Structure 1
Amino acid sequence: MSIKYKFHDSTAIYFVSFAVVGWIDVFTRTVYRDLLVESLTYCRREKGLNLHAWVIMSNHVHLIVSSREGYLLANIMRDLKKYSAVRILKEIKDCAIESRKEWMLYLFAKAGQQNSNNKNFQFWRQDNHPIELDPYSNMFEERINYLHNNPVEAGLVANASDYLYCSAIDYEGGKGLIGIDLLV
């Protein structure tokens, strides 16, 4: 992988995108989105994650993140992806009414077999595609707007703040599912 897409500065803010292998639309189900929300909440509380903006789409996630002092963002992202993958895969396996179970597990197993880093299944693509942001630049505001408008562009809602699995409501003075860490 190119050094272009790595977390170089542990004190920086990053726009991060990551996707489910094969762009499988796992997050069309509330239960799986909620498990990812739980993972993000845990990482904010226990792992040193500062979450500045976020959105969960049907098959990918966009975050604007940084880490608290003493924590490495690369480690936080690794743990977030690993833990959420384990929880979501378990839920898929255990869910008696998941109509896509066999198909999804087949694709996750196939992806896992193609990656020597996995034993059985691979849920997330390996890359995070982090892009360092200057919080005082136009690019920072553009990334927040891009992230928040994903559900609008996808036709899920008319207004970004109406999408429950997004931090847009926090930016409009409301209280979202996770909350955000404002820049000081």
Structure 2
Amino acid sequence: MGTKGWHARGYLPHFDGWDVTQHVVFRLFDSVPPSEQEGDDVPDRHLGSSVLRDAACARIVANALLHHDRQRYTLQVWCIMPNHVHVLLATQKAVELGSIVRLWKAYSAAQINKLLGRKGRLWAKDYFDRYIRDQNQFDFAKRYIEMNPVAAGLCDSPEDWPFSSATR
């Protein structure tokens, strides 16, 4: 486990390894309309259902992220936006990144669907990941994640956003 290296699942290449820090982004299935091309700015426009704007839904995702912290991975920075999630984490040898993200998405989807009395798909199929090569890239990713709610106009400072490691 945890030693796949570079591999493809569908259209996005992924890197699975261990003792590696990764920036992961996953989004709600309806956050990018069919007429749009996926890009960094599209999720920040809060398109689609944006169910994570609901504090109870965002708490479910936060609990999923925090549940296995320091056991299966080490969370370094995270932020839950209205329709997507950013996580900077260090993976461990025994658990592949894909299984970590699948667990987060499966658990949170089941709980959010139950809470909202809905059925069906919540998350987009895939996720984006970028492994962090050096301290400069780590610092950039950390700042980007923490500043994402500010850049999206949701708050004035990272500490004001309740669903982020910046408030902890």
Q: Tell me by how many angstroms 1:160 deviates.
A: 0.9
What residue identity is the alignment partner of 2:78? W
Task: Tell me the alpha carbon deviations over residues 10-41 of structure 1, each in whole angstroms, 9 at most, x when there is no partner.
Answer: 33111111101111210111110111111112
Match in the other structure for 1:8:
16
Q: How many residues align?
A: 142
Q: Tell me by how many angstroms 1:152 deviates.
A: 0.6
Report the TM-score when normalising by structure 1: 0.71
What is the rounded CA distance, in whole Å, between the counterparts of 1:45 and 1:65 in structure 2? 10
Q: Contact 1:43 / 1:76 at 8 angstroms: preserved in 2?
A: no
Q: Contact 2:66 / 2:75 at 8 angstroms: preserved in 1?
A: no
2:26 paired with 1:18: yes
Match in the other structure for 2:147:
149
Q: Contact 1:36 / 1:84 at 8 angstroms: preserved in 2?
A: yes
2:151 paired with 1:127: no
Q: Contact 2:51 / 2:83 at 8 angstroms: preserved in 1?
A: yes
1:19-168 residue pairs with structure 2 within 5 A?
Answer: 19-23=27-31, 24-44=49-69, 48-93=72-117, 105=118, 121-136=120-135, 138-168=136-166
Q: What is the identity percentage for the equivalent residue pairs of Structure 1 and Structure 2?
A: 26
Q: Contact 1:13 / 1:135 at 8 angstroms: preserved in 2?
A: no
Larger Rg over CA atoms: 1
RMSD, aligned α-carbons: 1.7
Task: Tell me the alpha carbon deviations over residues 57-83 of structure 1, each in whole angstroms, 9 at most, x when there is no partner.
Answer: 000001111223322222111111111
Q: Tell me by how many angstroms 1:135 deviates.
A: 3.9
Relative to its length, the structure with more helix (as a share) is 1
Q: Unaligned 5+ residue runs, structure 2?
A: 1-9, 32-48
What is the rounded CA distance, in whole Å, between the counterparts of 1:8 and 1:2 in structure 2? 16
Distance 1:42 1:3, change over 3 A: same
Distance 1:83 1:60, change over 3 A: same
Report the TM-score when normalising by structure 2: 0.77
Secondary structure of the structure 2 residue equivalent to 1:142: helix
